[in-house]
């Protein structure tokens, strides 16, 4: 079988591979603590589930408009206008089957063969693959641990070429938890506006920031009449609704019309039942999200304390999302390991703890740990990791 070039170049999602490996071990009766997949462990709030049940019982189970029901599109617009002072309407919103779907739609509409798209590293695993599917080339912009993995405008400027068509901005970041400050976002908006770059702004974790840090949306600095950006969001992480598969894109009305036309042939409407649940979620009591955020912060602080006890680990404190991205090069060197894949394999085989190697995110020498798990699970995971590392390092030191 001869596959097309676009299919032959696609790599499977490393995070999904970790999840499958953990599930396979669990199916064999092996106890694994899975800190690999970025999925909230909280159940979908009961009131949101009830909205889905109500949709079924009222027979809201048919096709809807390809771009989503008008009430949900307007609810997304209203939320942006309320939070960021923007001027969006339902015409500026397209609802899709998760934020991955939204990102794919936007990239297919904007990027093509011969284009370059600036992609800060470390990046979420899907971004380079989707960019390559369009025929464009990801052009990496490195961020550093020393700067807390926060994208620097000067580094972006250095990577711009005549072929650059766009830039991906993800804040709060998956995998690092870095939160880009508002002034830097404003500078990036001005740069994109002046250089003719399209900004794809992913803020799937916008409600989860910690301490004194706050998320700032690109919506604060653009008008609905401008056409050089698209914002992508989701109810998946915010309301613990990953399996409901509802995401959305926000941007110029003309772009949204094209995305709607594309989606109408590609997948049709997102699930009718899930749309009703998402509508309820967006209009629900904010305390539902605050409760989850407070628990994530407790877990974050526990993980940061635990990381300090591991030899050869260093990690800037994440200000958002629910991940840490520790540097494990010191530990790897003492163990005689050369790649983060080898290190993650060691952790799942010897400690029975699943993590994701940093190379999956474009940065070697790191691993991603999700703290979307209970404190008891996190305590067990770090107890196992500490014991496995201690045994391995002792063995390494006695080798001739």
Contact 372, 321 (CB under 8 A): no
Contact 33, 354 (CB under 8 A): yes
In a domain, 100, yes or no: yes
- Is residue 267 domain-shared with residue 318, that is, in the same domain? no
- Is residue 235 domain-shared with residue 269, that is, in the same domain? yes
In a domain, 245, yes or no: yes
What is this structure's pTM? Answer: 0.94
Please give the Cα distance from 247 to 177 (Å, whole number). 20
Per-residue pLDDT of 131-168, as tens digits, reads: 999 999 999 999 999 999 999 999 999 999 999 999 99
- Is residue 274 domain-shared with residue 138, that is, in the same domain? yes
- Is residue 158 domain-shared with residue 230, that is, in the same domain? yes
Per-residue pLDDT of 270-321, as tens digits, reads: 999 999 999 999 999 999 999 999 999 999 999 999 999 999 999 999 999 9
How many Cα atoms are found within 13 Å in the side-chain-facing hemisphere of 332? 20
Given this model, what pLDDT does residue 37 score?
A: 82
In a domain, 192, yes or no: yes
In a domain, 117, yes or no: yes
- Is residue 273 domain-shared with residue 368, that is, in the same domain? no
User: Mean pLDDT over residues 81-90, rounded?
Assistant: 98
Contact 4, 132 (CB under 8 A): no
- Is residue 14 domain-shared with residue 95, that is, in the same domain? no
- Is residue 184 domain-shared with residue 297, that is, in the same domain? no
Given this model, what pLDDT does residue 286 score?
A: 93
Domain count, the chain: 2
| φ, ψ of residue 363 in degrees (nearest 5) | -140, 110
Tell whether omega for the bond before 72 is within 30 degrees of 0, i.e. cis: no
Given this model, what pLDDT does residue 231 score?
A: 98
Tell whether omega for the bond before 122 is within 30 degrees of 0, i.e. cis: yes
How many Cα atoms are found within 13 Å in the side-chain-facing hemisphere of 137? 10
- Is residue 115 domain-shared with residue 159, that is, in the same domain? yes
- Picking from 226, 257, 282, the residue at the C-terminal end of a domain is 282
Containing domain of residue 197, as a range? 46-282
- Given a cut of 60, whether residue 124 has pLDDT beyond it is yes
- Is residue 206 domain-shared with residue 302, that is, in the same domain? no
- Given a cut of 80, whether residue 397 has pLDDT beyond it is no
In a domain, 398, yes or no: no
Given this model, what pLDDT does residue 202 score?
A: 98
- Is residue 52 domain-shared with residue 38, that is, in the same domain? no
Contact 179, 144 (CB under 8 A): no
Per-residue pLDDT of 176-208, as tens digits, reads: 999 999 999 999 999 999 999 999 999 999 999
Per-residue pLDDT of 217-252, as tens digits, reads: 999 999 999 999 999 999 999 999 999 999 999 999
In a domain, 202, yes or no: yes
- Is residue 327 domain-shared with residue 351, that is, in the same domain? yes
CA max distance for the chain: 73
């Amino acid at each position: 079988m001869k596959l097309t070039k676009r299919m032959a170049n696609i790599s499977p999602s490393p995070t999904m591979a970790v999840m499958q490996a953990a599930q396979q071990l669990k199916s064999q009766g092996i106890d694994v603590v899975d800190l690999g997949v970025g999925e909230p462990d909280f159940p979908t709030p009961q009131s949101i589930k009830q909205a889905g049940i109500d949709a079924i019982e009222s027979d809201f189970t048919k096709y809807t408009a390809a771009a989503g029901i008008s009430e949900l599109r307007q609810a997304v617009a209203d939320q942006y206008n309320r939070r960021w002072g923007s001027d969006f309407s339902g015409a500026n919103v397209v609802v899709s089957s998760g934020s991955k779907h939204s990102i794919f739609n936007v990239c297919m509409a904007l990027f093509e063969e011969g284009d370059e798209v600036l992609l800060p590293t470390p990046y979420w695993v899907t971004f380079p693959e989707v960019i390559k599917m369009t025929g464009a080339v990801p052009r990496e912009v490195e961020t550093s641990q020393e700067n807390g993995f926060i994208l620097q405008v000067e580094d972006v400027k250095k990577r711009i070429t005549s072929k650059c068509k766009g830039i991906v901005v993800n804040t709060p970041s998956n995998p690092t938890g870095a939160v880009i400050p508002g002034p830097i976002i404003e500078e990036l908006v001005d740069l994109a506006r002046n250089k003719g770059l399209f900004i794809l702004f992913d803020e799937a974790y916008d409600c989860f920031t910690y301490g004194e840090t706050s998320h700032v949306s690109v919506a604060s600095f653009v008008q609905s009449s401008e056409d050089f950006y698209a914002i992508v969001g989701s109810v998946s992480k915010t309301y613990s609704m990953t399996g409901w598969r509802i995401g959305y894109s926000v941007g110029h009305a003309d772009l949204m019309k094209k995305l709607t036309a594309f989606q109408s042939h590609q997948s049709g409407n997102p699930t009718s039942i899930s749309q009703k649940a998402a509508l309820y979620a967006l209009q629900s009591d904010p305390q539902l999200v605050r409760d989850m955020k407070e628990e994530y912060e407790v877990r974050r602080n526990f993980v940061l304390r635990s990381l300090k006890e591991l030899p050869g680990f260093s990690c800037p404190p994440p200000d958002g999302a629910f991940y840490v991205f520790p540097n494990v090069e010191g530990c790897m060197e003492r163990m005689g390991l050369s790649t983060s894949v080898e290190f993650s394999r060691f952790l799942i085989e010897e400690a029975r703890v699943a993590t994701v190697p940093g190379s999956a995110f474009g940065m070697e020498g790191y691993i991603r740990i999700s703290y979307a798990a209970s404190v008891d699970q996190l305590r067990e995971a770090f107890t196992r990791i500490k014991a496995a590392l201690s045994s391995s390092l002792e063995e390494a030191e006695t080798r001739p």
